[in-house]
Every structure is written in C-alpha cells, then in structure tokens.
C-alpha cells in the first residue's frame, strides 16, 4: 500500500478519524447519498458536507456502514476514493450509480455488475505502466452481490462497462455502437477510476449500477427516479457490506 504523509481531515472530507466505516457506498449524486442514509441506516450522523459531497455513517442491521457521494467523473471519484482508502482506512467501496445502457437486452431499472471497466480516461497514466491496465472489480464482493441479485430475482447483467470522460461525445451513437460490438453493456463515468484507485491501494471495489437511460433508444427517467427509486442496488450493496 502506498504510504502518504497527508492527514485527515482533508480539503475534500471533513470527517474525523473513526467517523467513516470500513465499507462505503458511493453514489455519484449527493442527494442519493442522503436518501440512502435516511432510508436504510439507523443512528445516522452526517460526517461530511464539503462541496456538498455529503457523507453519512450509521448502521444497517447492526453493521457500521457509510455512504458518501463521489460526484461526476474520474477526477472527483479518484480524489474521494483515494482519500477514503488511504486516509480513513476504508477497505471496501461499492459504487451504487446509474448507467446508460447500450446492450439491447438492458432495460430501465436493470442492474449491471461491472466486472470490468473499459475507459478513455488518462487516470491510470500516473502509474507509468508499460501497457494498458485492466480495471476490474473485487471478485468476492461481486460474487456475493450477484448471488444476492439472483436470490432476490432482480434482473441483472454482468460484464464490461465503459467509463468515459465525455458525457456528450461528438460521435455519440457511433462510439456507443462500437463499444456494443465489443460486448460492453453500458456507459458511465466513474467505475474505471474507482477500480484503478482500489488496485493501487490494495483495497476492494465494486460497481453496482442501475440502468437509468438507454443511449441507443433514447429512453430515460427523471432525476427524482434516479435519486430515490433504484433501491435494488442500494439494498444489495448494504447486504454485502463488510
């Protein structure tokens, strides 16, 4: 594990040592973090409000769990995940985010377990690797999540996602069609950075995503649905939290 001299609290997280659990659920949306905390956790305390990246710690069925927003994109996910792993002794980060489906079998509300993340971000370049890094999930977390989805009869797919730095690509449909031809399931913006940070820290990470729109058909749901209605991924993430 990388040794650092920075101490908590930081520029981005105001929580004191010990105020964040070993497992953190990370939605991109701060309001989804608030919803998860208020809906599922007992004895909840807000431990971060810096830049509105709300973080809360409470208990779920007796387990201490935290939930914190990551914001949008690789840089903000990278900053927060790095600090959680290295400065707050977090062992597991489970992203509970939304994703745009590109696989024809995916529908709104389906889950995607991101076994791996293709990417166009240069985030891994800092590690000076003589090749292209494969950003993959922690197998044990993923296996437990998939097992639970099957037990709950929640429709899901498992495979590659594409983590893009560009939300509005110049050649959007063509780009997505090319990724679909490579059996990539969906597109989002944070998973690759999370998996890269976790690998370098020697920690565990998993992205459980809910399809909130389908980029090939144009189907989509409003913000309130993305914030409050996609509870299957939240409950699965809480159940597998260690």
Threshold 0.75, pTM exceeds:
yes
Res 241 pLDDT > 70: yes
Q: Which tokens belong to 161?
A: 């996602």
Per-residue confidence (pLDDT) for residue 5, from 0 to 100: 60
pLDDT value of residue 211:
97
pLDDT tens digit sequence for 5-64: 677 788 899 999 999 999 999 999 999 999 999 999 999 999 999 999 999 999 999 999
**For the residues 93-105, what does the mean pLDDT come to?**
97
Catalytic, out of 29, 110, 175, 213: 213
Alpha-carbon torsion, ordered 199, 202, 204, 205, to 10 deg: -30
**At CA 239, angle to CA 194 and CA 77, rounded to 5?**
15
In angstroms, the Cα distances linking 193 to 15, 75, 112, 207 are 22, 8, 17, 11
Q: Which of 56, 140, 106, 134 lies closest to 209 in space, CA to CA?
A: 106
DSSP structure string for 192-208: HHHHHHHHHHT-EEEEE
Question: Which domains are assigned to the chain?
Answer: 23-240 (3.40.50.1580)
Active site residue 213: yes
- State the Cα torsion 199-149-190-32 to the nearest 10°: -130
Contact 109, 210 (CB under 8 A): yes
Alpha carbon distance 72, 62 (integer Å) = 31
| pLDDT recorded at residue 172 | 74
């Amino acid at each position: 594990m990388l040794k650092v001299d920075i101490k908590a609290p930081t520029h981005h997280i105001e929580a004191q040592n010990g105020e964040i659990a070993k497992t953190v659920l990370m939605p991109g949306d701060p309001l989804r973090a608030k919803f998860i905390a208020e809906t599922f956790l007992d004895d909840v305390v807000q431990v971060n409000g810096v830049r509105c990246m709300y973080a809360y710690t409470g208990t779920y069925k007796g387990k201490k769990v935290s939930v914190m927003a990551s914001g949008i994109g690789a840089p903000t996910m990278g900053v927060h995940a790095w600090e959680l792993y290295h400065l707050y002794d977090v062992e597991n980060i489970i992203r509970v985010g939304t994703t745009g489906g590109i696989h024809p079998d995916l529908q709104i509300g389906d889950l995607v377990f991101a076994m791996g993340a293709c990417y166009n971000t240069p985030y891994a370049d800092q590690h000076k690797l003589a090749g292209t890094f494969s950003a993959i999930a922690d197998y044990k977390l993923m296996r437990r999540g998939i097992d639970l989805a099957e037990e709950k009869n929640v429709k899901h797919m498992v495979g590659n996602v594409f983590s893009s730095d560009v939300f509005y690509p110049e050649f959007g449909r063509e780009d997505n069609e090319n990724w679909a031809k490579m059996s990539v399931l969906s597109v989002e913006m944070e998973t690759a950075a999370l998996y890269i940070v976790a690998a370098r820290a020697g920690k565990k990470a998993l992205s459980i995503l809910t399809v909130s729109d389908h980029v090939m058909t144009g189907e989509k749901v409003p913000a309130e649905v993305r914030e409050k209605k996609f509870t299957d991924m939240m409950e699965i993430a809480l159940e597998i939290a260690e």
